[in-house]
Structures are given as structure tokens and as C-alpha cells.
Structure 1
Amino acid sequence: MQDPQDMIPRSASEPRQTGTSVQTQPVTSQNLRSAPQSSGKPEITRSRRTLWLAIALVVGFLLNVAWRLWLVRDIQVPAAHADEDGYLIAARVLAGGPGGYSTENTEFRRVGYPVLLAPVYWFTSDPFQVYRGAQLINALINSLTFPLAYLFARRVFGQPRNWSLALGMLVASMPAVAFYSQYAMTDAVLVTFALAWLLLLHTWLTATTVRGRVLAALGASAVAGAVYVLHVRGTMVVVMHLVALVAFAVLRRTSWWLTIVAAAMTAVAASGNTVLQNVLGDAIITEGNSPRSQMMAAFTTLDGAVRTVARAFGQLWYLAVGTWGLGAIGLVALVLAVWPVRDLRRRLGERIEGGRLLILLTTLVATALIAVASSASLPTNDHRINYHAYPRYIHFLFPVWLMAGVVALRVADRRRLRVLALGAAGMTLFSAGVVYLRLQFTKAWLFLPFDMPETTLLSWQWDAIRVAQPTIVGLVLLGLLVFTLPRSRTVAIAMVGIVALHAAVMVASVEKITKPMTVDQYRADTPQMVRDAHLRPGDVVTVSTETLWYFRWNVMREVYWDRIYVFNSVTEAPQDEANIVIGPYGNTGRHAHNWVGGPEYRLVVVDQYHHWAVWRKN
């Protein structure tokens, strides 16, 4: 019977114990005298391989950057209002510019991502060029998943060099990774930080020198704290990191003093968010509602608990289907690897195998914590049906499960393949059933394809959530991969096919999801504040709440020299200090009125399509 540990393969350099003894010769002076003199060829070969590896990593990284920039070549303005706008305005404040509004709530707001965007404002204040700069930063950081995934496959999974390069390209092309590089959102960079965190944790466990362990421990803790500063889901990453630190010490994989130092480093890094919030001060006005009471109800009421559990299963379903079944294979492989548990402690104490298992268990618990916490905190009053299978918060951990699934299939024998396939199919079908039943009883109706790029492609439905079609297609893909990946004759075809599928999702998502979210914002006849309304620094701008909501966010970015004011043109007069008023214009049924200034105002420009106009006070 195959050792369950084989589901998490050993490194290429680690010997596999067998029933056959290995005969070795003792090292003697006679051996040394008879040994041939080194010609230097092994060193030359090793240097050439290192050079080619470096070239492959650089070329792969640049290809990924180019791919991401090509995808957004026609996207010049934010699509995901108001998240993108909030990050861009916060970055403007950090660069010394004016503030604005944010739909975040005070407890959950994070400032890490705006720090990455702030340098763009050192070179330009033009909001359209700023957005281009954000896309470039996204592409550069997001594409680092390729070398990081290579290192993950090489070190954690112990894969050969060429195979690790293939896995790196597979991961970097994933929609769960590349999709968010289109948007000025934290999700664009989070996967890079997550892979770096897990890699540093693994280096801590496997390093052979004290210096290496200390540097890796401090680095992993700093990155975990940085994830906390980037997004609220980083709270669960920090919790899992601290749990992992204690587990490492209990298992005697590290010393308690290093555990304490690493925990302190985590706290210092995470406190960066407080520092950055103090820098922002009151420049950003948060308009979001705290989900604290909703989260409390999720864990203290029956209805809340059922909703939370069902949503968590929805994320499990998406993890299975959105990775073409490979994520489910990875989960099943990990369960098999830790069974039986009677000698688990001993196996976790091993340097190589134990390190690998601990990293995957850390990823598993982090995935579960984030899935449950997000399921509890997602709103219930905005009628968004996507929340019943919402992958966005765990998308950044999809690469680990995809790699785990691919590697598990590559090393499994026929019996193990059947177990993996049946387990993954059962997990997918059960979670799909939970989602389907939940959707039958929900009152939610609003569907946004932005939340679900993989399943919308599998069902080719861009205006409604589907469960049956993506599940069936996902199971078919799972069957094909179970058949092709373990076989040397077909593995290359399978890998190319997966990359092609990833590319198809990305191209389709740009055309079917992103462009429809931006196409009506800036038409050829849509006036711009500086170019057409001739607004300049010194103008004080106020905008009516009766205008289109996303247009107000565009104005906040276009007016880069001062914070804009907001007023209700139905019940309020513009602020006295404002000399520019933007209000509804053109009574088409959407607005109850048109704002018309008194004799001291003159009409400057009109947007007939979006029904607003700009007035200047004489």
C-alpha cells in the first residue's frame, strides 16, 4: 500500500526509503588517490543551468507583465467603483494631495495598497495617467507570482526545475491571480504577498543555519503583518501566522525565543496600518457601515449560522470548480497525507516532509478562517446573490491548492488516482448541492459577474449565477486532467490546455465583465472637468447627490487639487465657498428636478447622456 505521505511528494534531493539497502564504499585514502581529477565541467554545467534558469524567470516575468498590460490596453478608468476610487484617493492623500470619500468602514479600512500607488502622484496629477500608473504597478507586482510560484513548487513541493517553471506559469496565468490586475484594488497584489509569506515560513522550517532561520522567521512575520495592512482578510492571516508560530515551537521545529521575536515582528508590521491611518487623519471620510452586529448574529443566531455555513460551502464549491477540480484534488491529497493521525506529530517533526505538511496545513486553516469570517461579514441587505458563492476573499490562496492538485496527480498510482478523483468529485457535488439549495430560498437577486470570472465562463452566463452548468463542466475538466496529467505522453498537452483555458477566461472577462463596467462612463461626448469644463486649481467644486453615483467618484478623482463637497440639490443649497456646481440636468424621469442656478451662475457644459451639467458662479 502506498504511503499516504506520498500524496505530498518529497523533494528531488531527499532519499526515498525502500526495502533495498544501498551499498556504499567507505571514504579512504585509496579512494581519494584513485579518484579522477575534476575537469571543472560540472561547475560549468551548473553555471549554465543557473544562467538559463535566471533567463527563464526573467522572460516569464516580463511575458506576464506584457500579458496583463495588453489585457487592460482599452481600460483607462476605474470599473469597480467605489473600491478603486477609495484606494486612489487615499494614495493621493499619502502623496500630499487632497482627500475625499470612501465606502470603507472605520474598523475594517486598510491603507497598505494606497502606499504602493502613492508614488504615481509624484509624477502626475492627471487622474487618467494615475490610473495607468496603477495598472503598471499592479502588473509588475502581480507578475511576481511567476517566480514565487516557481520557488514554491521547487522548495515546498520538491519538484524538478523544469516542472517547477511549468507550474509557475500555470499559477501566474490563473484568473484568480491575473483577473484582479485589471483593477486598482488590493486583490491585485495580495497573492504575491501570500506566496512570499508561505515561502518564508517554509524556509524558516527547513533552513539549516541559525542565521537563515532567524531571517526567514522575521521575514515571514513582516510579510504576514503587511498582509494585515493591505486588507482586512489579513486579520485571519495574522491569526493563522501566530497559531503557526506556537505550533512550530510546540513541535520543536523552532525555539520559543525565536517564536516570541517573530510574534513581536508581526505586531510591529501590523501596526503600520494604524500609523498610516493617522497620516491620513480626517482627509478621508468613511461612509461604510460596520458589519460588527451582523458578524455577531452570524455566530449567535440559528439563521446567521446557517447563512454563514452555507456561504462557506459556496466558497468551497467555487474553489473546486474555479480551479477545474485541481483545488479539490489538492484538498483531498492533504487529507490523505495527514492520515493516519497517530504518527502525525512525528511526521510533522521531520525537516522536509514535516515542513511541507505544516505549510499546507497553515494554508488550509487560513483558507477556512477567511471563508468563514467573510461569509459572516458580507452584507445581507444589498440583494447581492453572489455572496452565496463568493470567491474573492480566498482567491489569493487558489494557487497553492492548484499546485497541490497538479503535484498530487503527477505522483499518484492508479489506486490513489481513483481515490483522489472520487474524493474531489464528491466534495464538488456536495458543496454544489448546498449552494443550489441555498439559492432556492434566498431573496437576493443582484448578480455581478465581476465576482465570478471562472464560473461565468464555464456557464457562459454573464447576467445570472448558475450552479449546475459550471459544476458539470468542472467535473468533465477534472476527469480529463485526472486522465492526462499523470501520463508523460499527455501531460504537456494538459498543461498547455490549462494555460489556454486561463487565457480564455481572462480575454472573456475583459470583454464581458470589465469593459461593460466602463464603456458608458466616458463616452466620446462625455465632458471632463479640466479638458471641457476648464476647471483649474483654485476652483472649489460641489456635486449633487442627485447625479449618477459613480460619476461623483469620477469627479473626486478629476478634481485633483482640492476635496470636493457633496450636497443634496433637492433640499440644500450649494456650499457658500463653492464656485463650481455640478447637478442634475435634463428631466428624463430619473431625476425629480433639474438644478438651475440663480443669476450669479452660468452654465458651462452639459452631459446630455448622463444628465448632469456644470455651472460656474460669476
Structure 2
Amino acid sequence: MLTDPAAATGETRQAERPAPSRTRADAGSGLSEGRRRWGLLLLFGWIAQVGVRLVFASGQTMPVATPDETGYLFAARVLTGGPPADMSYGTVYRGGYPMLLLPAFKLAHDPDTVYRLCLLTNALVGALVLPLAYVLLRRFGLSRGRSCLFANVVALLPAAVFYSEFVLTDAVLPAVVLGWLLLTHTWLTSENPRIQPAAAIGASLLAGYACAAHSRGVVIIAVHALLVLVATVRRWRPVWQSALALAALAAVFLAGTKLNAHLFHVLYPAGDNDLEGNLLRRLTSASGLGWTFSLAVGQVWYLIVGTGGLAGIGLLGCGSLAVRRGTEARLRALALAVLASIAGIAVATSAALPDEVRVGNYVYGRYLACFAPVLVAAGIAVLVQASRRTLGWAAGGTVVLAAASGAVVYAYAGSRLTRYVFTPFDFPESSFLTLDWHRFHLWRATVAGLVLLGLAVLVVWALRGRAAMAVLAGTLVAVEAGMTGTATAEIARPLVREFGPIARLDGVARPGDRVAVDWQVPWKVRLPMLYDAGLHRPLEFDGNRRKPPAHRANLIILDWRRPGHVPAERTWKKGTPPPGWHIVAKRTSKDGSWVAWRRD
């Protein structure tokens, strides 16, 4: 089903041979010219992918995916010498991704400009999925033309584009995961002794970076370390190469650990939300195991349905490669590494996840989105290369897998899928499939996703050659553009409209102000406000325990819990305001309200 990079079809190999009448020099020159042409095409494709991401992100002007975006922005701000923010009792956001944002904070100081430069960083790195997907598809045995065509399909996946509209590590993780797998494959299969050490070190660096960037990377770094040990024991590669790989892995891991310990000390002075404790409790109790298994299956369900079934075919292809007789041992190890990484991430994130009384607890696609390009590329390779019989079995298996995983989700979550809080941000793909951005529909989304898979199979069966490839790629791109476009219009833009007026200090703060913000202002409003006030080096204080710091600031934002019942003048707690202080602004919203006091 999935092939070794050397297993190109005979026709492809024949097409790539130089014509007999040409000299060796001519052949070499032609091959070099061909490679140069394809290299330029990929370069232009990467530039186009950067442009696509910037167009979708053009309306994003502030962090709205709170607290995730603000967590990464605060980390980058701290690393460039800027003011910290108190993220205590929240999820810990690691420093690997903020390291990529440092140039944005160095090049600009205005929060709006810095934010847009961060989105540019997302686009530049995220668009690397295109050339990486091209290489992956070539290694699956597709011709150059088809690889280039479908690499664009893979690069336009909502899982690779939508999150680039926000300052989230999810914007770069797909490229990191693809790069890690390709370099690992190169190390294990290349016959070039010069390439092997570089690939070993490069794969280890990317695995270590994934760990430094997000807790999902802990699974990746563990899987990679195990792969290196297996390669050593099986003598696939010399011990000295494995030693180099492990040394690079250890160096990045230790550097990332030190970086994250520093950020934790600065940004989480009172501790975090103890996700590690959740993980331990869930994996050591019957009820916790039930929760973990169901939520992990829900992530797999979303991965399959959200990609129109293509990731399901990719999963089955990896499984087939892992268990089929005759699979070369190194390819088997890589297939198992992909499956182990997906299973490990699904289980670990589900076990650690707190019960937030939201639908996204039970079906969530973001944690496995970084593996969507790999699996979709594998699914496309099966679609365009497998025999009708094999493709029929793969499609049928995907239908069974989607239905079974949906049944597990429904059996465990039941009415909670409709009663619990629906957060549109959690469902960019499934909301498009059901054309409903206000409620979740498990079975309607399942059917819609499988219908898309059926259409893809019919296109391949009904048409032949270039026509089939063009129609298939065009259909997939149209669906992906629809998913990302509607997610942008229905999810991303409304968040900016909702939080812009309440979380920004435009017209309130002046140059030279020292701003203090009450910790009691709801975090959905307070954290974006603290980012927006970065130039003022904001202070934080707990308005329930302390008086406003009138001696340290000249603009104080106070929580206003009951507008309409409590006058704005009574928001100054723990006594009366000192002489010279007066109200200069009031903001109210369903997410939180505040009053701004200024000292003359």
C-alpha cells in the first residue's frame, strides 16, 4: 500500500532516464536543469502558501485564543527583556515556539505590529509543509508532477492553515513533525554515508524542539529516542551515528528544560494547573481510564472525519505497513513510530485534560492536527496508486473506523455533546461539514466526512490519468478552502470583534502611563489587555486582597463585577480613591467588565 522511496513505478523510472542518444554530460546537465526547475516551482509554491496564510490571517490584530496565544506572547516578551504577566494556576506554555517569535519582538515594540510579525513567522514556517509534503509524496512513490500537485493539497489542510491565524505552536508543529519523520527516514534508509550523520542529528534536533515547544513533543522525543536505540541494537546504523543522534537529542532536551524552568519561575509564581497530576490520577483509576480512552478515541474520530476520511486511509496504510509480512524492518519501525506517536499524544492529552464542561473535551482535533499532513499524504498516495480492490478495502475500513470511533464517543459522552458548552474554535472542520457553527452534530459530521471520502474514491475510479488527478486535487482544495474560509469568517473574525473593544486600551492609555490591572478582571479580558499594555510595563495586583497601587501607577484598571447594580464609582475597593483619581473609561461585556481610573 505505502512504498519505500525507491519503489517508484517502472514508468516513472523510465521517464526519468536520460535518452540513449544523449551523452553523460548532457544527461547530467539535463537532470540538474530538471531539478532546478522543480526546485524553483517548489520555491514559488512556498511563497504562494505564505501568501495564502497571510490573507487568511489579515483580520487578526490581537490575541483572542486566550490563554494560549497570550501565554506564548508573554514568554517571548520575557525572553526579550519585556515585562512578565502572572499566568498562575493556568496551563504551562513552553518556550520552544516563543523562541521563533523573538525577531518579532526585536524588530518592533508596538503590540499590534509585533502580533502581525508573529503571524508572518507562522506563515513562513507553516508554509514549509508544501516542500516537505512534496518530498514525502515522492517517497511514497508518486511522480514529481503528482507530488507537486498534491503537496499543495496537503499544505492547504485546515489543520496546517487555520491555526496559523493565531500565535499558537500548532502553526509550526505540522512542519516540525513532517521534517522529523523525513529526516529519520533519511537516516535509516539512505545509502549515502555523508548524509546519514546530518540526518540523524537533524531528526534529533527537531524531535527535541518539539518537546521544548509543547507537551505533545514529550511523546515525540520518547518515540525518537526509542527509534535510535532500536537502530543501534539492530545494527541498522553505526553506533557512533546513534551516539551523535542521542547527544543532539539530549542537548536540545536539556536546553529546553532549562528554558522552560526559567519561564515557569517568571510566569507562574503561584504554580500551574497540575496537568501532570491529572495525568497520573486518570491513568491509575478505572473511571480515569474510561475518560482517557473515550477522549483519545474522540481525537482519532475528529482526525478522520475532519480530513474527509483521508487521514483514516493513512492510518490504515500505516497499520498495514507495520503488520504486513514482507515490510522492510526499518519502514516497519517508522510506521510503528507514527502510530505510537499518535496514540501516545491522544492518550496523554486526554488524560491530562481538565473537565471544562465543554463539548471539546470529548471530540477535539487540535492535538493530533500536527500529524494530519502526514496521514493525509499517505491517504492520497493510496488513493492515486492502489488497485481498486485495495482502495475499496481501505475506504471500507475507514468507514468502519469512523463509525466505531463515533460510537465510542457517543456511548461515553451521550447528551453532553449537546448539553455542554460548544466552543466554535474547537471545531473548524466539523462545523463546515455540518454547516452549523453553534452546535455539534456527531453523526451528521461523520456522514458528511465519509461522503467526501466516497466522492474522492469515485473520482479516482471513474476518471483516468491527468483528468482524475486534476479533479481530485481541485475538489480537495475547494473543500479545504471552504473549511478554512468559513472558520475564519465564523470563528476567527468574530473573536476579534468580540474582544477588541473590551480588551484593548485604545483611547484610554497614553504614552508614558504606568498601568496597573486588577487580577480579578476575568482572564479572557485581562490577559489580552496585559499584552496590549506591554509598552506601559503593566503591574498586576489582586483587588480582593490589596488596595489599588495608587502610588505606583497613574492608570488603574479595576474589575467591575456587577455593572448596573454596583456604580462604577464604587469599584475602588478597600477604601476611597485618593485625591486626584477619577474615572476615565468604562467597558462592559459578557466576558467581563472594568473601570479605568486615572490620576491627574
TM-score, reference length from structure 1:
0.88
- Residue identity matched to 2:82: G
- The structural deviation recorded for 1:510 is 0.7
1:152-167 to 2 correspondence within 5 Å?
Answer: 152-155=136-139, 157-167=140-150
- The structural deviation recorded for 1:39 is 8.0
Q: Residues of 2 paired with 1:294 and 1:592: CA distance?
A: 41
Q: Residues of 2 paired with 1:371 and 1:233: CA distance?
A: 9
- Residue identity matched to 2:586: D
What count of residue pairs does the alignment treat as equivalent? 578
Selected match of 1:79 from 38, 57, 64 = 64
Residue 57 to residue 533, structure 1, CA distance change in 2 (3 Å)? same
Selected match of 1:199 from 159, 182, 185 = 182
* Residue of structure 2 in register with 1:367 after alignment: 342
- The structural deviation recorded for 1:456 is 1.0
2:238 pairs with 1:284:
no
- Residue pair 1:542, 1:581 contacting (<8 A) in 2 also: yes
3-state SS of the aligned residue for 1:462? coil
* Residue of structure 1 in register with 2:599 after alignment: 617
Selected match of 1:300 from 273, 284, 288 = 284
Selected match of 1:476 from 435, 442, 451 = 451
2:310 pairs with 1:335:
no
- Residue identity matched to 1:411: Q
- The structural deviation recorded for 1:48 is 3.2
* Residue of structure 1 in register with 2:126 after alignment: 142
Q: Residues of 2 paired with 1:51 and 1:76: CA distance?
A: 38
2:85 pairs with 1:100:
yes
1:103-502 to 2 correspondence within 5 Å?
Answer: 108-155=92-139, 157-277=140-260, 280=263, 282-285=265-268, 288-341=272-325, 347-348=328-329, 354-355=330-331, 357-380=332-355, 382-440=356-414, 442=416, 445-485=420-460, 487-488=464-465, 489-502=467-480
Selected match of 2:563 from 581, 588, 608 = 588
Q: Residues of 2 paired with 1:586 and 1:315: CA distance?
A: 37
Residue 474 to residue 14, structure 1, CA distance change in 2 (3 Å)? closer
3-state SS of the aligned residue for 1:577? coil
- The structural deviation recorded for 1:608 is 4.3
- The structural deviation recorded for 1:262 is 1.4
Q: Residues of 1 paired with 2:508 and 2:478: CA distance?
A: 46
Task: Name the stretch that deviates more: 37-46 or 551-560.
Answer: 37-46
Q: Residues of 1 paired with 2:203 and 2:524: CA distance?
A: 39
Residue 36 to residue 409, structure 1, CA distance change in 2 (3 Å)? closer
Q: Residues of 1 paired with 2:525 and 2:406: CA distance?
A: 38
Residue 194 to residue 609, structure 1, CA distance change in 2 (3 Å)? same
- Residue pair 1:112, 1:229 contacting (<8 A) in 2 also: yes
- Residue pair 2:555, 2:596 contacting (<8 A) in 1 also: yes
- Residue identity matched to 1:557: Y
Q: Residues of 1 paired with 2:93 and 2:508: CA distance?
A: 34
Q: Give the superposed CA RMSD.
A: 2.5
- Residue pair 1:569, 1:595 contacting (<8 A) in 2 also: no
Residue 208 to residue 434, structure 1, CA distance change in 2 (3 Å)? same
Q: Residues of 1 paired with 2:211 and 2:323: CA distance?
A: 33
More helix by share: 2
- Residue pair 2:319, 2:339 contacting (<8 A) in 1 also: no
* Residue of structure 2 in register with 1:4 after alignment: none
- Residue pair 1:214, 1:258 contacting (<8 A) in 2 also: yes
- The structural deviation recorded for 1:325 is 0.7
Q: Residues of 2 paired with 1:417 and 1:278: CA distance?
A: 49
Task: Name the stretch that deviates more: 86-95 or 246-255.
Answer: 246-255
Residue 36 to residue 329, structure 1, CA distance change in 2 (3 Å)? closer
- Residue pair 1:317, 1:389 contacting (<8 A) in 2 also: yes
- Residue pair 2:82, 2:537 contacting (<8 A) in 1 also: no
Structure 2: 5+ residue stretches without partners: 11-19
Task: Name the stretch that deviates more: 251-260 or 229-238.
Answer: 251-260
3-state SS of the aligned residue for 1:461? coil
Q: Which string of whole-angstrom CA distances, capped at 9 and with x for unpartnered residues, describes residues 212-262 of structure 1? A: 111111111111101111111100000110111122233332133322331
* Residue of structure 2 in register with 1:603 after alignment: 582
- The structural deviation recorded for 1:198 is 0.6
Q: Which string of whole-angstrom CA distances, capped at 9 and with x for unpartnered residues, describes residues 299-343 of structure 1? A: 2211111111111111111121011111111222233334445x5
- The structural deviation recorded for 1:599 is 4.4
Q: Residues of 1 paired with 2:173 and 2:106: CA distance?
A: 24
Identity %: 32
Q: Residues of 1 paired with 2:545 and 2:238: CA distance?
A: 66
Task: Name the stretch that deviates more: 420-429 or 488-497.
Answer: 488-497
- Residue identity matched to 2:453: L
3-state SS of the aligned residue for 1:490? helix
Residue 415 to residue 116, structure 1, CA distance change in 2 (3 Å)? same
* Residue of structure 2 in register with 1:20 after alignment: none
Q: Residues of 1 paired with 2:258 and 2:265: CA distance?
A: 13
Task: Name the stretch that deviates more: 161-170 or 540-549.
Answer: 540-549
Q: Residues of 2 paired with 1:527 and 1:469: CA distance?
A: 36
TM-score, reference length from structure 2:
0.90
Structure 1: 5+ residue stretches without partners: 1-6, 17-34, 349-353
* Residue of structure 1 in register with 2:3 after alignment: 9
* Residue of structure 2 in register with 1:540 after alignment: 514
Q: Residues of 2 paired with 1:276 and 1:461: CA distance?
A: 42
- Residue identity matched to 1:51: R
- Residue pair 2:311, 2:379 contacting (<8 A) in 1 also: yes
Q: Residues of 2 paired with 1:310 and 1:547: CA distance?
A: 35
Residue 533 to residue 604, structure 1, CA distance change in 2 (3 Å)? farther
Residue 558 to residue 337, structure 1, CA distance change in 2 (3 Å)? closer
Residue 545 to residue 338, structure 1, CA distance change in 2 (3 Å)? closer
Q: Residues of 2 paired with 1:113 and 1:104: CA distance?
A: 21
